[in-house]
Structure 1
Amino acid sequence: MRGGSMWEWFIGLVSQILATIQSVVGDWGLAIIILTFIIRLLLTPLSIHSTKSSARMQALQPRMMEIQERYRDDPQRLNEEMMKFQRENKFNPFGGCLPLLLQMPVFFALFSVLQYHLPADAHFYNILDSLARSVGGAVGEFGYFGAIVYVVMDLLFGLLTFLPLYINSRNSAPDQRRSSLLMGIIMSVVMIMFGWNVPVGVLLYYDTSAAWGAIQQVFITNRVMEQVKRTEEEKFANQITVDVVRKERKPRPHKKH
């Protein structure tokens, strides 16, 4: 099976799953929300794995900086010590990225289904009369007041993009916090502009997924990161204590024959 055919088959599979859920619940909007929940739930173990990898890298970063500072005038020794440190601590710089890369095909397929394969009459109860209509199209047809729900969906997309960055920045240094907040504002504006011209069904998916991500971050991600960081810091502190004791232990005097 060729790459294009495989991708088309995958999109068709996602489309069929969405249609099956809709046939059970009787509403396309609710079907999108349920499918998004199912996907996020299935991918939660990957997200937790990614969080643990990121937390370990953050916890080990100060130790790596110490090594870089200690051997900055000896590149060969620096390289040897860094490789040794990474090997002893099972350091994997791609551990936090790989799960995210594995999620991308699922999200792109769902995006494609929502943008190109929804029926023209697909709706979300009496809240959104057409999931295939864009926010810009609704405003052009009904005006801002008549399309207020569509506009709110787009603004909510921007807000939910900003929220995780805001949560992460609370414990950061002032300069890093300002940079994170500025980046969050810029990303939010870009997402609002992007959301203006896509079918509102896509926004419903993104809003649901982002809301899940924000809740997961508050109740799971932050706690996992704190636990992993604490474990790594305690392990490193114990290693330092053992090394100090070994260095302070005097050699036993040899008996004279």
Structure 2
Amino acid sequence: MWEWFISFLTSVLSGIEGFVGDWGLAVIVLTVIIRLILTPLMAHSTKSTARMQVMQPKLKEIQERYADDPTRQAEELRKVYADMKFNPLGGCLPIILQMPVFFGLFSVARDISQLDANASFFSILPSISVSCSQMVESGNWAAAAPYLILVALFGVLTFIPMVLNTSMQDASQRSQTMTMGAVMSVMMLVFGWGVPAAVLLYYVTSSLWQVVQQKVITQRVVEKAKAEAEAEAEAASRPIEVDVVRREKKPRPHKKN
């Protein structure tokens, strides 16, 4: 199954390259296509995140109230999730769907080098099949410079989307996210040092798309979703009002003798 997917991905990338005339640009076009396909899922994920922010006080209350009863706690949390139409796994789905492409590009880059020994990204990257470490080891620093910049972007663009997400978090969560983002960025720098440039191009393009999407679209979606969730939560907690209309008493007719 995996070999079939690699073969399919190589064919798709080769077809795009035949249309645009450049392997690096083909990776960028493939990334844009994938992100366009995932846009509805990303919007749904954003709504789920916004709803989660609205539910935080209620979730904390449940966790504290049933701290000694995990079973009851889980049951109450499920009820809240159901009432708010929240799926805890919704935010993970777009990432999960992109992972096969991300890891598949490792093998695709190898196959591309066999199809075309000069699989470059215009005159910027001599080959998208080699890594930054290989270019540095070659001693050609002029050719290695774009690879070093790409690796730096690989780390920075891991951090920026996480920072943008802190706008919906409290101070404690914001601190944790910033720390996690810094650690992840360092890890990605180490990881990016040895991966093919095709993988870096895919990730950097995808991350840039995410940053633009968050600034242009996501904020509107978040505001709308939070407003809807707050309205639903308020409606659910509001007591039911019964409008009672009293009948007007009419005098009874008297029988005439």
Output the TM-score relative to the length of structure 2: 0.82
Structure 1 residues 19, 178: closer, same or farther in 2, change over 3 A? same
1:36-185 to structure 2, matched below 5 A, reads 36-69=31-64, 81-114=76-109, 116-119=110-113, 120-185=117-182
Matched pairs, number: 243
Structure 1 residues 55, 19: closer, same or farther in 2, change over 3 A? same
The correspondence for 1:191, drawn from 188, 192, 211, is 188
1:228 alignment partner in structure 2:
225
Structure 1 residues 111, 37: closer, same or farther in 2, change over 3 A? farther
1:9 alignment partner in structure 2:
4
Shift of 1:64: 2.9
Q: Is the 8 A contact 2:84 2:233 kept in 1?
A: no
Deviations 1:115-151 (A, max 9, x none): x222232101111111122111111213545521111
2:254 alignment partner in structure 1:
none
Query: In structure 2, how many angstroms separate the alpha carbons of the residues matched to 1:75 and 1:181?
Result: 30
Shift of 1:58: 2.6
Structure 1 residues 202, 98: closer, same or farther in 2, change over 3 A? closer
Q: Is the 8 A contact 1:111 1:202 kept in 2?
A: yes
Query: In structure 2, how many angstroms separate the alpha carbons of the residues matched to 1:153 and 1:102?
Result: 24
Structure 1 residues 70, 133: closer, same or farther in 2, change over 3 A? closer
Shift of 1:155: 0.4
Q: For structure 1, which segment, 177-186 or 118-127, has the greater mean C-alpha deviation from structure 2 after superposition?
A: 177-186
1:243 aligns with 2:239: yes
Query: In structure 2, how many angstroms separate the alpha carbons of the residues matched to 1:57 and 1:124?
Result: 41
Shift of 1:61: 2.7
Q: Is the 8 A contact 2:102 2:199 kept in 1?
A: no
One-letter amino acid of the structure 2 residue matched with residue 221 of structure 1: T
Deviations 1:136-182 (A, max 9, x none): 11112135455211110110111111111111224533333232222
Q: Is the 8 A contact 1:27 1:123 kept in 2?
A: yes
Q: Is the 8 A contact 1:47 1:100 kept in 2?
A: no
One-letter amino acid of the structure 2 residue matched with residue 35 of structure 1: L
Query: In structure 2, how many angstroms separate the alpha carbons of the residues matched to 1:70 and 1:200?
Result: 51
Structure 1 residues 57, 212: closer, same or farther in 2, change over 3 A? same
Rg larger in 1 or in 2?
2
Deviations 1:58-116 (A, max 9, x none): 322322333444566787876665454444333432233334333333333334313x2
Structure 1 residues 72, 187: closer, same or farther in 2, change over 3 A? closer
Q: Is the 8 A contact 1:144 1:151 kept in 2?
A: no
Q: Which runs of 5+ in 1 are unaligned?
A: 1-5, 253-257
Q: Is the 8 A contact 2:62 2:77 kept in 1?
A: yes
Q: Is the 8 A contact 1:157 1:191 kept in 2?
A: yes
Deviations 1:21-73 (A, max 9, x none): 11111111111111111111111112222222232233223223334445667
1:210 aligns with 2:210: no
One-letter amino acid of the structure 1 residue matched with residue 42 of structure 2: S
Query: In structure 2, how many angstroms separate the alpha carbons of the residues matched to 1:32 and 1:151?
Result: 19
Output the TM-score relative to the length of structure 1: 0.82
